[in-house]
Amino acid sequence: MRRTFTALIAGLVIACMASQVMPNCASAATTEPTEEQIDSAPCMAAVTAREDERIIADCAPLIDNDKAAKADRIKAAIARAAAHERKEQIDRAISDYDLALRLDPTLADIFNARGELWRKKSDRPRALGDFGTAVKLNPNHAAARANYKSLSLEIERIGAMIAVNNRPSFNCATARRPVEKAICANPELANLDREINAVNTKIVREAGKDDRSAGRAMQREQDEFLARRNAEFGRPDFDLQKMMRQRLDRLMALDRH
């Protein structure tokens, strides 16, 4: 009996491959599984009610079932991502957006939304990439364009800050005065010097807009500070860092007014 059954199965397989006995069996064997009709009502009801715990729980069956309708899975993944984001569960929200974009990589809104989460995590390269993709998919996407522009400027500013970090306002390669060499050798003093110069430049510029004499007066004050710094450096009771901090505090107070 077992031999007869085995022989029958073997014969059917051979016949199927030859498309003689069962001409449709080859295509049937290679057909991908059809989508299952999973009830999406609980998930959609939770989304309508904006109840995050329900969204997370009731949308899971749709999201986790790869045989469910793709459109339903995308909607559920996006809804759960938003719920996770509202609960500050950023990694989980990103994971749900990942799934939605794997199912449909043309969703500009979702690339932009995921980019905002990457930016919140301070992962600027990934955020910039998502914003750029959103703009490519939809050149008229205002939010994505604004995000891309602002993040590009932010990255540029960070790069500029890194480039001058621990460097004073002057060129250390040409420093001759002992006080300048001391500033160059101390990163904290170097940063203080750069901040003092930057704030003073701003104050002089602002003061001179309406009254040139006011701008010149502010610059004279800075020149007097530098002259006193140069002259007093090296004395036993001289505290260079304290003097520079006092000068920066004075400039910051003027800038606030």
Cβ-in-10-Å burial (0-12, 13-18, 19+) of 66 comes to: exposed
**Is 207 in contact with 214 (CB distance < 8 Å)?**
yes
- Cβ atoms of residues 25 and 59 within 8 Å: no
For residue 58, pLDDT over 60 is answered with yes
Q: What is the pLDDT of residues 42-57, one digit of tens each?
A: 999 999 998 999 999 9
CA nearest 250: which of 211, 195, 183? 195
**The two structure tokens encoding residue 83:** 């719920």
| Percent of the chain topping pLDDT 70 | 83
Residue 117 has pLDDT above 90, yes or no: yes
Backbone angles phi, psi at 186, to 5 degrees: -125, 110
Q: Which residues contact 49 (CB under 8 A, 6 or more apart)?
A: none
Coil/strand/helix, residue 68: strand
| Cut 0.75: pTM above it | no
What are the residue boundaries of the structural domains of the chain, listed by start?
A: 41-141, 172-256
List pLDDT tens digits, range 19-28: 333 344 333 3
- 41-141: which CATH topology? 1.25.40
Average pLDDT in the 220-226 region? 95
CA 24 to chain centre: 52
Q: With bands split at pLDDT 50, 70 and 90, how would you rate the model's confidence at 16?
A: very low
